[in-house]
Amino acid sequence: MNRIKLILLLFFCYLTSSAQTRVMILGSVHTPTKYITKDTLLKALKDFKADVILLELDTSLMDNNGIFKRDPGKMSLESGTAQSYRQANAGTVLRPIDVVYRNKYYTEHKTFAKENQMGKVIDSLFKNNMMNDTTWFITSSLCSATQILNNYGYMQLNDINSKAYMDVASSRQNLLYQRQVAFIKNNDDLKTWYPFAKEDADFWDLRNDTMAHNIITYARKYPGKNIAVIVGCYHKYALVDRLKDVAKTNGFTLVKNY
């Protein structure tokens, strides 16, 4: 009898150790649209059979047990969906993966107000033909890419998770955080904005680096589990780029359910 128990235990350990850790990066929107709702995201999580859900959430907004410190339904579509999924699937682990001080950083640095102010200055130069050809092309291309991406209100979940959407998002963020920052530095009418623009770009990279690091950490912590990562659709390409070449060495597989 003891021998049978030992064999069963060893067999169970084998199954546990050999189970594949699967990570799905699911691009989402922070507020529901006509086609992307809580039900849409819940279906994606159910189809994936998520055991762990990682959220693009300031880590100060959740305790160490994965309990929200505020009403998740009022935080974002993703937070409310994750909470509903956990309520329906006991044992589901929820964890935040964004920078711990993200919201505080944005408040103290007045990030969104400054982005708006800087954008108005750039827009004025653009509309009044006060840019050289290269700067005009960068600004025009950035506007076009932003317009395409912001049409997500008419898109399905699989659309904003497609390679085509990720390619446009990657191009748009490159224009915004690299090429625009470079011309701000060298433009007499804009160079006073350079310290902010550079800081803003660096924080974007820091957030993506932090989320990728935390995904790897949780993949190691929960071997053999299905780990769903729900982030804003602009972040998906950045996380996939950071994880695709290191997934195997860290014991997980990136899956493409959407």
pLDDT at 8 over 60: no
Model pLDDT, residue 256: 84
pLDDT band at 7 (very low <50, low <70, confident <90, very high): low
pLDDT at 185 over 50: yes
Model pLDDT, residue 153: 86
Euclidean distance between CA atoms 10 and 5, whole angstroms? 9
Across 15-29, 68-82, 200-214, least confident range: 15-29
Residue 30's alpha-carbon distances to 24, 56, 208, in angstroms, are 18, 10, 17
Mean pLDDT of 222-230: 98
Model pLDDT, residue 15: 44
pLDDT at 16 over 50: no
More confident residue, 162 or 4: 162
Adjacent-strand bridge partners of 54: 95, 229
Percent with pLDDT over 70 in the chain: 92
pTM over 0.85: yes
pLDDT band at 19 (very low <50, low <70, confident <90, very high): confident
pLDDT digits (tens, 9 = 90+) for 101-152: 999 999 999 999 999 999 999 999 999 999 999 999 999 999 999 999 999 8
pLDDT at 11 over 90: no
Euclidean distance between CA atoms 138 and 140, whole angstroms? 6
pLDDT at 17 over 60: no
Percent with pLDDT over 90 in the chain: 90
pLDDT at 207 over 60: yes
pLDDT at 4 over 80: no
Euclidean distance between CA atoms 159 and 152, whole angstroms? 8
Model pLDDT, residue 5: 54
pLDDT band at 12 (very low <50, low <70, confident <90, very high): very low
Q: Let me know: does 38 contact 32? Beta carbons within 8 Å.
A: yes
- Over the chain, what is the mean pLDDT? 93
